[in-house]
Amino acid sequence: MHAIRASRAFDGELFRAGGATVLVEDGLVVGVEPADHPLPEGCPVTTYEGTLLPGLVDAHTHLVADSRMGALDRIAGYSEEEIDAVVTEALHDQLAAGVTTVRDLGDRGFCVVRRRDRQAAGGAGEPTIAASGPPLTSVGGHCHFMGGEVAGPEQIERAVAERVEHGVDVVKVMASGGVNTPGSDVLLSQFTTAELGLVVERAHAAGLPVTAHAHATIAVEQALAAGVDGIEHCSCTTAEGMGRVSEETLATLAASGTVVCPTLGTDPRVLDHPPPAIAAVIARMGTTPQGFVRDRAEFVARLHRAGVRIISGVDSGLNPGKRHGLLGLAVSELVTAGLGTAEAVTTATAGAADGIGLGSRKGRLAPGYDADLLVVDGDLESDVTALVRPVAVVLRGEPIAPVAGPPSARLPG
């Protein structure tokens, strides 16, 4: 047994007055006590002045994307060795930023699912992975190069069965087009409501949740009608802009308990020069990159006020502004939009763990949970930007060195 002690602490849902002492044994948290709790004789302790909290959970990553411009364009051409190296680097950057659990929502040919399985067999010092495999998409649709194209009921049923056979943690379906695939229109849906319903029916029959990529308002409404468990992005976009959705639909979304991952978190240093595909969509909406980010955050605050379940994920890896390791920025954007700090940090800890099906072992400082821990510099309760200043990362009870995060994890300075 050993102990980690800090003068400030967040337990995954609430800030703890006076900090905490977390007792760790065999990779698990075995006790959470006040900061001045006397320790058993011979129990070593490491003390920090910052804020201790659970390791972060990035609920929307693409580990096969290398965080550079045109990341998605390269995925289809990677050799197995190259794509494995990209995944390794992505996991390293996430861990250095204090992210100890990731949900991957789109790989190529189930390579991240296989990486997850190797982790389970070998206990690698990497963030825990939950994975979807290639997302279901229309023929030539968004991210079709990942290998998930389907057309019609028979292909949909076969594709879901294939994912069940591979043991995925969630089925991902591209309900709308996307920004980063040529020929795909982010303002249009890619499936009928009946087809989305079939995905949900077959996945649920196998005990798997379904999450839907949906930007277009019509796709969000279809996904909700089909009974999906989660919606990614949920920007409710039309040609007039984002957030174009009725209060009635928001009330239905909230009442359903559907988990929304709005994929906030953009490095502000790239806003003056966004990727061309994104710049085109922003221009189509008649706004600016800065206005686009602001409008996204304000709409997420509207979702929150309506009672919608929000979790945080960045869409990590797609480009330099969405690099692996930027989850702290996503949380900061929520606070800027009006969420309380505890509410915002919960979306990347306990709330995210619950939302991706790992709430019984991740995202909380509590006995019986995995000892995935993060210490950040300063008082997180009064300064949410502390979340991008990791001081120490502990993965299943083992400290990770070096503790300093990569440049991608830090606010511009």
Q: What is the pLDDT of residues 100-155, one digit of tens each?
A: 999 999 999 999 999 999 998 876 799 999 999 999 999 999 999 999 999 999 99
Q: pLDDT at position 393, please? A: 97
Q: What is the pLDDT of residues 198-247, one digit of tens each?
A: 999 999 999 999 999 999 999 999 999 999 999 999 999 998 889 999 99
Tell me which amino acid residue 266 is.
T
Q: What is the pLDDT of residues 185-205, one digit of tens each?
A: 999 999 999 999 999 999 999
The tokens describing 94, both together, are: 């996430």
Pick the CATH number of 2-54+364-405 from 3.90.920.10, 2.30.40.10, 3.40.190.10, 3.40.1180.10: 2.30.40.10
Nearest residue to 46 (alpha-carbon basis) of 370, 373, 364: 373
**In this model, does residue 172 exceed pLDDT 70?**
yes
Give the span between the Cα atoms of 47 and 50, in whole angstroms: 9
Class of residue 119 by CB neighbours under 10 A (exposed 0-12, middle 13-18, buried 19+): middle
Helix (H) or strand (E) holding 350: helix 350-355
What dihedral angle (degrees, nearest 10) is formed by the CA atoms of 359, 118, 136, 257? 0
Pick the CATH number of 56-355 from 3.20.20.140, 3.40.50.11540, 1.10.1060.10, 2.40.50.140: 3.20.20.140
Rounded to an integer, the average pLDDT of 57-62 is 98
Q: What is the DSSP letter of 316?
A: B
Give the span between the Cα atoms of 213 and 174, in whole angstroms: 5
**In this model, does residue 42 exceed pLDDT 70?**
yes
**In this model, does residue 294 exceed pLDDT 90?**
no
Residues belonging to the chain: 413
Q: Is the peptide bond before 390 cis (omega within 30 degrees of 0)?
A: no
More confident residue, 402 or 334: 334
Confidence band, pLDDT 50/70/90 cuts, at residue 403: low
Q: pLDDT at position 413, please? A: 27
Rounded to an integer, the average pLDDT of 4-12 is 97
Helix (H) or strand (E) holding 410: none
Q: Report domain extents, the chain.
A: 2-54+364-405, 56-355
**In this model, does residue 406 exceed pLDDT 80?**
no
Rounded to an integer, the average pLDDT of 14-32 is 97
Percentage of the chain modeled with pLDDT above 70: 97
More confident residue, 365 or 403: 365
Percentage of the chain modeled with pLDDT above 90: 85
Q: pLDDT at position 402, please? A: 60
**In this model, does residue 378 exceed pLDDT 60?**
yes
Q: What is the pLDDT of residues 331-344, one digit of tens each?
A: 999 999 899 999 99
Q: pLDDT at position 123, please? A: 67
Minimum mean pLDDT among 123-132, 145-154, 175-184, 287-296: which range?
Answer: 287-296
**In this model, does residue 280 exceed pLDDT 90?**
no
- Angle CA(242)–CA(322)–CA(127) in degrees, nearest 5? 120
Rounded to an integer, the average pLDDT of 339-364 is 98
Q: pLDDT at position 259, please? A: 98
Confidence band, pLDDT 50/70/90 cuts, at residue 364: very high
The tokens describing 11, both together, are: 């337990």
Confidence band, pLDDT 50/70/90 cuts, at residue 407: very low
**In this model, does residue 412 exceed pLDDT 80?**
no
Look up the pTM and report it: 0.95
Helix (H) or strand (E) holding 86: helix 80-96
More confident residue, 234 or 286: 234
